[in-house]
């Protein structure tokens, strides 16, 4: 039974060329018996799993990589049982969201066999108590695309430091001088905004945007329907919705207008579900007021694409103000929209995003407020270069 899966494993290992380790590699605790790695398509989950498989110091006969989309005749449980009989130690399961009722079989594997299981899946997966009670058994990590720092490390083969938000706010001038000795900012930041978020850029730089466009379509057409209760004919509405967001400036949604344009007149509940599906799949970023909690039926203050690369792959309109805000929001996860500036972070810091000539007019006199300016290398006082926020992870 296992011979076929070992052939798949050998093929994947031969194709895995990138040696670079993402920032999260050394942050994952593999002492747990069941570990989940969730993230969007293209952020490097499979590469990570194969790196871990190759580097774990046990014989190859005790390690097995399988992809859930290659499982046909046998069940996950049957494969694990056979592998355990052969004294297997590490079972890696990729793309687990493609396997129906995986939670139940993972629980059985966890309870019955002496196996370490590491699985990957779509960031849209919700691991909870609904099936199999995995929430108490599995440690789950969610990973994002590359930061600007990671992009530079992989492209230039250099090592660069990570800075906390407080470090950047307090010492941005010294940090910028230190970093700019190591790379050309203008060329590299422009390239990152267009093509640097997903690691597969370095596998085929020429066709990257085409591949990213296809990746987004696969998420919409395949991954979302495999996880959420959405009928296939509604997939076209998801695509229409993305295009409308593409064509907008930083978007404060008029829900009634959007519903009319995508052919869902007055169907507010379904619309908010669609926004939720696209956000969980890391295609959109819906910024909601925290005071209303995580209710998916709350109107977002703003709707963005998840990262700037999606703009270049999927949109005809690439308005620079939108690109700047999307970059900032993609680097800082815990933020809200602000009446006085663009964003408020940690309920404390106010940020106004703009170009190099942006003034403090909108945030004048506000404590802990900052101008985040594009097209500058070095900041002054409370005016900080936008690119520096690409060093937060």
Task: Specify the higher pLDDT residue, 316 or 199.
Answer: 199
Q: What average pLDDT does this structure show over 192-218?
A: 95
For 155, the token pair is 């492209």
- Check: CB of residue 249 under 8 Å from CB of residue 319: yes
Position 336 pLDDT exceeds 70: yes
Q: Which residues contact 127 (CB under 8 A, 6 or more apart)?
A: 36, 38, 103, 134, 135, 138, 140
Helix (H, G, I), strand (E, B) or coil at 158: coil
- The Cα–Cα gap between 4 and 360 comes to 63
pLDDT of residue 136: 81
Give the start-end residues of each E strand in the chain.
34-39, 63-67, 90-94, 116-122, 139-143, 284-287, 302-305, 335-337, 343-345, 349-354, 369-373, 383-385
CA distances from 299 to 287, 324, 328 (A): 9, 23, 21
Query: How would residue 233 be classed by pLDDT, with cut points 50, 70 and 90?
Result: confident
CA distances from 107 to 33, 77, 89 (A): 11, 10, 17
Position 291 pLDDT exceeds 70: no
Whether domain 2-143 has CATH 3.40.50.300: the reply is yes
pLDDT of residue 129: 45
What are the extents of the domains in the chain? 2-143, 150-391
Task: Specify the higher pLDDT residue, 93 or 298.
Answer: 93
Reference 302, options 263, 361, 344; nearest CA is 344
CA distances from 28 to 36, 142, 144, 149, 203 (A): 10, 10, 14, 20, 25
- Check: CB of residue 121 under 8 Å from CB of residue 34: no
pLDDT of residue 378: 97
Query: How would residue 255 be classed by pLDDT, with cut points 50, 70 and 90?
Result: confident
CA distances from 159 to 149, 152, 179, 199, 289 (A): 9, 9, 11, 16, 37
Q: What average pLDDT does this structure show over 110-136?
A: 80
Strand partners, 344: 336, 350
Query: How would residue 90 be classed by pLDDT, with cut points 50, 70 and 90?
Result: very high
Query: Is 221 exposed, middle or buried (CB count within 10 Å of its CB: 0-12, 13-18, 19+)?
Result: middle
């Amino acid at each position: 039974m296992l011979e076929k899966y070992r052939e798949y494993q050998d093929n994947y290992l031969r194709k895995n060329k990138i040696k670079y380790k993402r920032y999260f590699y050394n942050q994952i605790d593999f002492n747990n018996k069941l570990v989940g790695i969730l993230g969007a398509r293209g952020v490097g989950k499979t590469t990570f799993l194969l790196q871990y498989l190759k580097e774990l110091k046990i014989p190859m006969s005790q390690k097995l990589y399988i992809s859930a989309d290659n499982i046909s005749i046998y069940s996950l449980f049957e494969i694990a049982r056979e592998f355990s009989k052969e004294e297997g130690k590490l079972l890696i399961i990729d793309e687990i969201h493609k396997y129906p009722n995986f939670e139940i079989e993972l629980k059985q594997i966890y309870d019955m066999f002496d196996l370490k299981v590491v699985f990957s899946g779509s960031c849209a997966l919700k691991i909870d108590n609904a099936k199999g009670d995995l929430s108490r058994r599995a440690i789950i990590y969610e990973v994002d695309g590359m930061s600007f720092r990671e992009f530079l490390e992989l492209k230039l083969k250099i090592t660069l430091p990570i800075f906390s938000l407080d470090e950047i706010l307090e010492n941005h001038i010294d940090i910028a001088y230190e970093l700019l000795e190591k790379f050309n900012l203008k060329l590299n930041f422009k390239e990152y905004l267009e093509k640097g978020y997903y690691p597969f850029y370095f596998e085929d730089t020429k066709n990257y945007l085409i591949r990213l466009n296809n990746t987004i379509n696969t998420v919409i057409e395949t991954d979302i329907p495999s996880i959420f209760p959405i009928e296939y004919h509604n997939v076209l509405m998801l695509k229409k919705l993305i295009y409308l967001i593409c064509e907008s400036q930083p978007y404060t949604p008029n829900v009634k207008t959007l519903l009319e344009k995508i052919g869902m007149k007055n169907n507010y509940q379904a619309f908010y579900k669609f926004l939720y599906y696209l956000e969980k799949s890391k295609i959109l970023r819906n910024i909601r007021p925290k005071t209303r909690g995580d209710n998916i039926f709350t109107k977002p203050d703003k709707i963005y694409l998840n990262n700037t690369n999606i703009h270049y792959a999927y949109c005809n309109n690439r308005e620079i103000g939108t690109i700047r805000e999307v970059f900032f929001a993609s680097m800082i996860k815990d933020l809200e929209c602000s009446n006085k500036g663009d964003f408020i972070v940690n309920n404390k810091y106010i940020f106004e995003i703009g170009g190099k000539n942006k003034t403090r007019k909108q945030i004048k006199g506000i404590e802990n407020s900052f101008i985040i300016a594009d097209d500058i290398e070095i900041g002054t006082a409370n005016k900080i270069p936008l690119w520096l926020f690409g060093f937060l992870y």
